[in-house]
Amino acid sequence: MIGNIHSIETLGTVDGPGIRYIIFTQGCLLRCQFCHNADTWEIGTGKQMTVSEIIDDLKTYLPFIEASGGGITVSGGEPLLQIPFLIALFKECRKLGIHTTIDSSGGCYSTNAHFQEQFEELLEYTDLILMDLKHIDKEKHKKLTGLTNEHILAFARHLSDKNVPVWVRHVLVPGTTDAPADLEQLGKFIGTLKNVKKVEVLPYHKLGVYKWEALGLEYPLKDVEPPSEASVEQAYELLTAEVEYI
Ligand code: SF4
């Protein structure tokens, strides 16, 4: 089984518990204005890697990963564009007792039978999902990411119904995703979910701007500066006001 891979980071520390072997998959349906991985957008490109190539490489880091309570995280791009590959990869990880995590925006989530059947199988082998909720307002979500958010909210509800543990993540972009009323609404939505282990506010940063420039694209947030610590704290309060953690 082959995956289209953008890159691999062998000892990541922020995308899930412990030390993580992080695979960035190639391809995404969203076009987030703050994306720091714009070079992962194109579908069907990247480096083709087999599951066994990845597992062989991962095994060399296992002592560090296991000692830290870590595991594997598949990020992107959007990992759920390559579900059959993820199933094959996570099955092998299960055999080795490796904790499995997916970092997803749910941007390609669908209720169609084919997607659901594959997704159902993938969840059997998935320990944690880092679920990116970009904006609660449908039109603002479209402006920010290129798509409206109905299917992403459905993705979140589905994971809650199935009791799949999630870390909810929200990128705080001044002037775009930081309006208190929107954060309060998003917090109310998060409060309805029954599977939340953690909520993280990720301060917007400009580290990926050079990738937009390399792709010949104009960066839409070039005048926006990172948020203050106080506004990150305030956002966290609003997002977690109604959460009952698992
Ligand atoms: S979902 Fe992630 S990879 Fe896709 S555009 Fe948004 S930030 Fe970039």
Q: How close is the Cα of 117 to the center of ligand 1, in Å? A: 24
Question: What CA–CA distance (Å, rounded) separates 195 from 141?
Answer: 23
Paired tokens of 98? 């490796």
Q: Are strands 2-12 and 47-50 parallel, antiparallel or unpaired?
A: antiparallel
Angle at 104 between CA 101 and CA 108, to 5 degrees: 135
Q: How close is the Cα of 20 to the center of ligand 1, in Å? A: 20
DSSP 228: P
| Residue with CA closest to ligand 1 atom 3 | 77
**Closest-CA residue to 75 (of 11, 128, 18, 22):** 22
152-202 pLDDT per residue, tens = 999 999 999 999 999 999 999 999 999 999 999 999 999 999 999 999 999
Contacts of 47 (CB under 8 A, 6+ apart): 4, 5, 6, 26
Residues within a 6 A CB radius of ligand 1: 28, 30-32, 35, 37, 40, 76-78, 105, 107
Question: What CA–CA distance (Å, rounded) separates 44 from 106?
Answer: 18
Q: How close is the Cα of 98 to the center of ligand 1, in Å? A: 26
Angle at 140 between CA 167 and CA 33, to 5 degrees: 75
Closest atom, ligand 1, to C-alpha of 29: 4
Closest atom, ligand 1, to C-alpha of 34: 7
pLDDT in tens, the chain (246 residues): 999 999 999 999 999 999 999 999 999 999 999 999 999 999 999 999 999 999 999 999 999 999 999 999 999 999 999 999 999 999 999 999 999 999 999 999 999 999 999 999 999 999 999 999 999 999 999 999 999 999 999 999 999 999 999 999 999 999 999 999 999 999 999 999 999 999 999 999 998 899 999 999 999 999 999 999 999 999 999 999 999 999
Q: Is 80 exposed, middle or buried (0-12, 13-18, 19+ CB in 10 A)?
A: buried
Q: How close is the Cα of 67 to the center of ligand 1, in Å? A: 31
Q: How close is the Cα of 95 to the center of ligand 1, in Å? A: 30
Domains of the chain by start residue, with CATH: 2-170 (3.20.20.70)
Bridge-partner residues for 131, per DSSP? 104, 168
Residue to probe by mutation, ligand 1, list 32, 73, 173, 204, most atoms within 8 Å of CB? 32
Closest atom, ligand 1, to C-alpha of 38: 8
Question: What CA–CA distance (Å, rounded) separates 2 from 100?
Answer: 18
Q: How close is the Cα of 118 to the center of ligand 1, in Å? A: 22
Question: What CA–CA distance (Å, rounded) separates 176 from 178?
Answer: 6
Q: How close is the Cα of 6 to the center of ligand 1, in Å? A: 13
Closest atom, ligand 1, to C-alpha of 77: 3
Strand spans (E) along 178-236 = 196-203
**Closest-CA residue to 100 (of 159, 20, 1, 13):** 20
Cis ω before 71 (30° cut-off from 0): no
* C-beta of residue 65 within 8 angstroms of C-beta of residue 42: no
pLDDT given for residue 165 in this prediction:
98
